[in-house]
Amino acid sequence: MNKQNQNIQAIGGHILDLYLLASFKFKNPHSYTKFRQIKSLKKRTNASVFVETGTYLGVTTKRCAPIFNQVYTIELDKELAELAKSFLSNNKNVEVLQGDALKVLPQLLKREEINDALVFLDGHFSGGITACGEIPEPGIEEIKILAQHKHKIRCIVVDDFRSFGTESSFPTKFELLKAAEEYFHDYEITVHLDQLIIVK
């Protein structure tokens, strides 16, 4: 699929999301709608670094590359990580890290160049070709890791809020919100467009 067709599909998906929102039938936003929210939060927080858990095919990563100074994305599955590296090879400011985010994230956040970060947590098991770590939805554990590096974090976005408490082995929405309140009580915490948003 060429870039023009991809752009048309993305805009079409976003328009459909707007219609579903207006008719109260909105559930799972299109990836382009999610990107527009990330872009808005980047502008609001002045974040310059994008950190993503759950690369999958690299679509969100690709969209974020032109608007952030540096982009780091973590993918558990080896084959998906290799595909993403190939797909993102023209984006010189992108680094694809293969491994479990719960192990990679602490090491990544120790790097001096990681500052003013917007962190997008989407590294959960979604069926199909996606990988499943020891914890199918590690969002709460990732929030605990991020809390140890709060001075580097401008914003956290936890994707697919609807899945918490509904998917097997996922924490409940209450448990996720409780963790956000406990570890980021001095940040603004909201839920919007199927995402938990934690903003400094």
HEC string for 73-140: EEECCHHHHHHHHHHCCCCCCEEEEECCHHHHHHHHHCCCCCCCEEEEECCCCCCCCCCCCCCCCCHH
CA atoms within 13 A on the CB side of 26: 21
pLDDT of 123 > 70? The answer is: yes
Bridge partners (DSSP) listed for residue 153: 117
Q: How far apart, in Å, do the first and last CA atoms of the chain sit?
A: 38
Find the helix packing angle between 139-147 and 101-109, rounded to 10°: 20
What is the distance between the alpha carbons of residues 116 and 49, in angstroms, rounded to a whole number?
A: 6
Counting residues of the chain whose pLDDT is more than 70, the rounded percentage is 82
For the chain, domains (ranges, CATH) are 26-199 (3.40.50.150)
Q: What was the pLDDT predicted at 109? A: 98
- Which band of pLDDT confidence, cut at 50, 70 and 90, is reported for residue 169? confident
Surface-to-core class of residue 166, CB atoms within 10 Å of its CB (0-12 exposed, 13-18 middle, 19+ buried):
exposed
Mean of the pLDDT values across residues 37-55?
97
Q: Is 195 in contact with 60 (CB distance < 8 Å)?
A: no
Residues 6+ apart with CB under 8 A from 45: 116, 118, 154, 155, 199, 200
How many helices (H) and strands (E) would you count in the chain? Answer: 7, 7
Predicted confidence (pLDDT) at residue 2 exceeds the cutoff of 80: no
Q: b/e map of 28-56 (b: 16 or more CB within 10 Å)?
A: ebbbbbbbbbbeebbeebebebbbbbbbb
Total residues found in the chain within this entry: 200
Is the pLDDT confidence value at 27 over 80? no
Instruction: Return the minimum-mean-pLDDT range out of 25-34, 84-93, 157-166.
Output: 25-34
C-alpha to C-alpha distance for 6 and 25, rounded to whole angstroms: 25
CA 108, CA 72: separation in Å to the nearest integer?
9
Residue 41 has pLDDT above 70, yes or no: yes
Question: Bigger pLDDT: 124 or 197?
Answer: 197
Place 86 in a pLDDT band, splitting at 50, 70 and 90.
Answer: very high
Mean pLDDT of 63-81: 96
